[in-house]
């Protein structure tokens, strides 16, 4: 999985509403820049992640495509296991299956009770592992923030995928996981021009995530207090959560995560109004990031 993901990749929500032909063009552009991996979510506004993964894989030639994450409430475990195994059989090591428990609001929206998320994740993995057939299971990684989910990722998957975390969390996650599991870290990169505009974008973005208990609790565990997680985040939290500035500044933050124990950092351009700007920013960053 380390080889398939490479050191630095791309993470994006941008494909949720774009026409399929444009998505295919963006995939080819990202691949041509030299990025080895592309991550997509399965949020409440996303299409079925297996359908999206299939289209992205078909649109590229070399690019590894990863789910960040396939939500366990979106389909039965045997459906995800068989669908991912088919894609893995068709595209080889170009698929990484990221799986996550999701959030309380999305879980309840789909008619499930939120209680005991760790136990539900264990049961879901048990269901996946009971699937037998000619195809080998797809390589999987678990979305994890807290210690218990990180340990489960080390026990039942090839590693962990973290999101909206500072470098301190990366160091903690690596120490807890040990040396073998893969650690893939998402990093938000501010595309807005100017310090004031970038700060506004960052707080608007952070406010959504800090309203979710698992993210807010994760920051508190790292020494941030209630004031830090209120009103879109304190200056200290925003600085720790996002990378801003030019390519050198973004590259320096990516390097911090790598030095802290990340195997892979997937950068997410935030704050742009259209996909063209996202792609342009990724192109500007590529020479620096891909040399790390």
Token pair for 137: 């299971």
Task: Give the per-residue pLDDT at 103.
Answer: 85
> Which residue has tokens 């990031």?
289
Quick one: what percent of the chain has pLDDT higher than 70? 99
CATH of residue 181 = 3.20.20.30
Query: What integer pLDDT is reported at residue 109 of this predicted model?
Result: 77
pLDDT for the residue 17: 87
User: Average pLDDT, stretch 50-79?
Assistant: 97
Per the CB < 8 A criterion, the answer to whether 154 and 178 are in contact is: yes
Tokens of 31: 């691949």
* pLDDT at residue 112, as a whole number: 80
Number of H helices, E strands in the chain: 14, 10
- With cut-offs at 50, 70 and 90, classify the pLDDT of residue 105: confident
Which among 70, 37, 35 is positioned nearest to 51, based on CA atoms?
70
User: In the chain, what's the furthest Cα-to-Cα distance?
Assistant: 56
Output the pTM of the full model.
0.96
* Residue-level pLDDT at 173: 98
pLDDT of residue 74: 94
Domain coverage including residue 228? 2-289
Q: Is 195's pLDDT higher than 80?
A: no
Cβ atoms within 10 Å, residue 47: 14
Distance CA 177, CA 192 (A): 35
Categorize the per-residue pLDDT at 196 as very low, low, confident or very high, splitting at 50, 70 and 90. Answer: confident
pLDDT at 273: 65
Q: How many domains does the chain have?
A: 1
| pLDDT for residue 228 | 98
Residue 203 in this model has a pLDDT that exceeds 70: yes
**What is the rounded distance in angstroms from the CA atom of residue 271 to the CA atom of residue 281?**
11
Model pLDDT for residues 32-57, shown as the tens digit of each residue: 999 999 999 998 888 999 999 999 99
| Residue 194 confidence (pLDDT) above 80 | no
pLDDT computed for residue 43 by the predictor: 85
pLDDT band at 274 (very low <50, low <70, confident <90, very high): low
Mean pLDDT of 2-18: 95
Report the alpha-carbon distance of residue 6 to residue 291 in Å, rounded.
11
What is the C-alpha to C-alpha distance for residues 70 and 79, in angstroms, rounded to an integer?
Answer: 12
Q: For residue 142, is pLDDT > 70?
A: yes
């Amino acid at each position: 999985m380390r080889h398939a993901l490479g050191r630095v990749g791309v993470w994006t929500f941008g494909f949720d509403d774009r026409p399929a032909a444009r998505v295919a063009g963006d995939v080819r552009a990202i691949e041509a820049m030299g990025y080895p991996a592309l991550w997509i979510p399965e949020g409440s506004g996303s299409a079925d992640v297996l359908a999206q993964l299939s289209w992205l894989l078909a649109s590229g030639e070399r690019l590894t495509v990863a789910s960040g994450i396939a939500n366990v409430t979106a389909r039965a475990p045997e459906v995800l296991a068989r669908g991912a195994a088919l894609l893995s059989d068709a595209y080889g090591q170009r698929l990484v299956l990221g799986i996550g428990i999701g959030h309380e609001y999305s879980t309840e929206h789909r008619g499930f009770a939120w209680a005991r998320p760790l136990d539900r994740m264990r049961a879901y993995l048990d269901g996946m592992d009971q699937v037998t057939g000619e195809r080998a299971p797809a390589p999987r990684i678990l979305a994890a923030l807290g210690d218990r989910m990180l340990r489960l990722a080390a026990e039942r998957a090839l590693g962990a995928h973290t999101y909206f975390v500072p470098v301190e969390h990366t160091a903690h996650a690596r120490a807890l996981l040990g040396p073998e599991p893969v650690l893939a870290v998402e990093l938000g990169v501010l595309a807005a021009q100017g310090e004031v505009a970038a700060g506004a974008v960052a707080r608007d973005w952070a406010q959504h995530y800090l309203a979710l208990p698992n993210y807010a609790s994760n920051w508190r565990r790292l020494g941030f207090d209630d004031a830090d997680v209120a009103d879109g985040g304190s200056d200290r939290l925003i600085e720790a959560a996002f990378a801003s500035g030019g390519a050198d500044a973004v590259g320096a933050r990516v390097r911090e995560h790598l030095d802290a124990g990340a195997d892979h950092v997937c950068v997410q351009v935030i704050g742009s109004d259209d996909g063209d700007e996202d792609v342009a920013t990724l192109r500007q960053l590529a020479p620096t990031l891909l040399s790390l």
